[in-house]
Structure 1
C-alpha cells in the first residue's frame, strides 16, 4: 500500500492513524534515507498517543521511553549501530515488554519485518513531499492505517 504525504499536515495525520491502531507488542519500523521524515513521523505518532512537549531524536541516546501514553512506547533510532547484536546489548527486549517499539533504521538492528506485529513503513522523497510504502505484518492486516 502507498500513502501520499505531500506536506507536514499529511505526515501528522498519518501518524495519528497509526497511533489509533497500535497495540502493545507492535513494531512500527521506519526506513528511508536521511531526510525522508522518519523522525517527523515518529514524533507525530508519539504526540497522537498523548505525549505533550518535545520529542528528542534518539540518534545519540538510541532509545527513549514514553510511559503514561495510551500505550507505553519505546522510540529507538538504530542508525549508529554497527552490528545487529548491539541491539541485544542495549537490552531492547526488556524495553519492548508491554510496549510499542517505534524503530528508525530497523535494518541496523536486524529488522523486525518477520514479526506478525510489525508495520513496516518505507519513506521516500517524492518532489517536495513524501510517500510511504506500507507493508503490514499479519496482525496488522485488519487494522492497517
Structure 2
C-alpha cells in the first residue's frame, strides 16, 4: 500500500497537488476513480480545479454541489467531477443514471463519496484533505493496482509542491 502525507500551505499548493495527480493519471492509466474526503472548505474543489486545468480545461471549475455531477470533455479524457454533499439518499444516484457514466476510460473526482455508499465505483485512490495546525494536509492512499501506479509516479513530484 502506498500512502503519502503532503503539507499544503496554501491554495496554490493544493492546486499543484491536483495537477501532479492528474499528470500521474495521464501517464499511467486509462481511467481512475478518486475519492475526496474532507470538511467543508478543506480544499476538495481546489484540488479538482488543479487536476482539471492540468488536463487542459481552461474554463471555470465550480463545485457541483447542486448539479451533483459536472462532466468535462477534454482532448484525451472525460472527467466527471461529483459533489455528493447534498445527496439525501444514495439511491438518488440511480435516479440520476450515474451508472450509465461509469466506464474504464473516464477519470472520476468524487467529493463526499461516503454519501454514495455502494452506488459508486470502487476508488483507486482516496485523498483526505484536512486542517493541520496553521495549514492543510493531504493524505493520499492507493487502494488498487491503478492507484499504486499513480501514486508511485506521484512520489517524486510531491516534493515539488511547496
> What TM-score does the superposition give when structure 1 sets the normalisation length?
0.89
Structure 1: which 4+ aligned runs deviate by more than 4 Å? Answer: 111-114
Quote how far apart the aligned CAs of 1:89 are.
2.0
The 10-residue stretch of structure 1 (5-14 or 90-99) with the greater mean CA deviation from structure 2: 90-99
Aligned counterparts of 1:60 and 1:113: Cα–Cα separation in 2: 18
Quote how far apart the aligned CAs of 1:143 are.
2.3
Quote how far apart the aligned CAs of 1:113 are.
9.3
Structural mapping, 1:1-145, within 5 Å: 1-22=4-25, 23-97=29-103, 98-110=105-117, 115=122, 118-138=124-144, 139-144=146-151, 145=154
Give SS of 2:128's match.
strand
The 10-residue stretch of structure 1 (20-29 or 6-15) with the greater mean CA deviation from structure 2: 20-29
Give SS of 1:135's match.
strand
- Whichever of the two has the greater Rg, that structure is 2
Count of aligned residue pairs for this structure pair: 144
- List alignment gaps of at least 5 residues for structure 2: 155-162
- List alignment gaps of at least 5 residues for structure 1: none
Quote how far apart the aligned CAs of 1:36 are.
0.5
> What TM-score does the superposition give when structure 2 sets the normalisation length?
0.80
Greater helix content: 2
